[in-house]
Amino acid sequence: MMKHEFEKLAGYEVSDDDYSKILEPMYMAVHLNKQEFVRVIDRKRFALMTKSEVLSEMKTIAIYLHSTCEHFADSDARRKLDSLLTEYKRRFWDNCYIATRQTGDDYGCPGRGCSYPSALVVLNSQSNAVIYTVSFE
């Protein structure tokens, strides 16, 4: 069974690594047809996050970073946000970035305070014009 066949039958995406290192060898080792095999696989373990789940997780982290930015820097949360952006780019839209604002901007004092993620900006691949923005605020 090919990866795309598995995903079509299962109704969710799996990572290339999980498929090639776990699912494919497992399928080859058991005596189940494709439908039976897909039915016994644990979706929670193998399913990649959907687009809306990735955006929701990014927004949750961005709101957290905004709420804490004047008190401390959470490098783990920033790395997690960067990781989610990388996944979003790879799977859904290659030409995008996370826009940031500074806390001083909220009060008419640009350049003061800390910066925090404010939105995911998606650009047209050809013209770099903004197609849409997903606000984190």
pLDDT of residue 103: 75
Q: Which pair of tokens denotes residue 14?
A: 């799996």
The pLDDT tens digits of the residues spanning 15-66 come to: 999 999 999 999 999 999 999 999 999 999 999 999 999 999 999 999 999 9
Supply the pTM of this predicted model.
0.79
Q: What is the pLDDT of residues 76-93, one digit of tens each?
A: 999 999 999 999 999 999
Distance from CA of residue 64 to its chain's centroid? Answer: 16
Per-residue confidence band for 106, with pLDDT thresholds at 50, 70 and 90: low
Element containing residue 98 per DSSP (H, E): strand 96-102
